[in-house]
Amino acid sequence: MLKMIVAIDVNRGIGYQNELLFNLKKDMAFFKRKTLNGIVVMGTNTFKSLKREKGLPNRTNIVVTRSPEEFEGTGIYATKDIDSILALSEHHDVFVIGGASIYELFLPYAEELFITQVTSAGERVDTYFPEFHEDFRLRRVECALEESGFYYLIEKWERK
């Protein structure tokens, strides 16, 4: 099943200059719990923002890129072909983890969204998660948390 996992502010902001808007340890622990030993899909900029040559540990990392040859010999799966990722999601849980253009590319195929909804706006934002409310319904709130002066909900959305 194709799933997405993302932290957004009240305006659907997700980043600024290729960095996350919020550094929330409990949200990161949720992200790790959901994606550990699974498959994560990301764009080149998101991969670079991880600052890890091998990608996220204990996960199969797939980078969607126009230049898969740049990743040869790195142990990272790189592809231009979204159909192969969609086929993979028919038999495995595949988590799309960013960035904005990758979320937009895969949103029409996603069945579930795990959204950390921060109840305030990021100070500086240049990257946004696409509009999703028309096609998804809130299934449940996983938890409500407060950390570092931020209040947030971790929500599960399902395609209507």
Whichever domain contains 93, its CATH number is: 3.40.430.10
Task: Please tell me the pTM assigned to this model.
Answer: 0.95
First to last CA, the chain: 15
Beta bridge partners of 156: 114, 140
Tell me what pLDDT residue 73 has: 82
Mapped to the 3 state alphabet, what secondary structure does the chain carry?
A: CEEEEEEECCCCEEEECCEECCCCHHHHHHHHHHHCCCEEEEEHHHHHHHCCCCCCCCCEEEEECCCHHHHCCCCCEEECCHHHHHHHCCCCCEEEEECHHHHHHHHHHCCEEEEEEECCCCCCCCEECCCCCCCEEEEEEEEEEEECCEEEEEEEEEEC
Tell me what pLDDT residue 53 has: 86
Q: Count the domains in the chain.
A: 1
Tell me what pLDDT residue 35 has: 98
Tell me what pLDDT residue 75 has: 83
Which two structure tokens, joined as six digits, stand for 79? 């592809």
Domain that holds residue 18: 2-159
Buried/exposed code over 89-121 (b: 16+ C-beta within 10 A; e: otherwise): beeeebbbbbbbebbebbbebbebbbbbbbeee
CA angle, 71 then 2 then 117, to 5°: 100
Instruction: Output the tens digit of pLDDT for each of the chain's 160 residues.
Output: 999 999 999 999 999 999 999 999 999 999 999 999 999 999 999 999 999 888 999 999 999 999 999 998 888 999 999 999 999 999 999 999 999 999 999 999 999 999 999 999 888 999 999 999 999 999 999 999 999 899 999 999 999 9
Rounded to whole angstroms, how far apart are CA atoms 60 and 91? 14
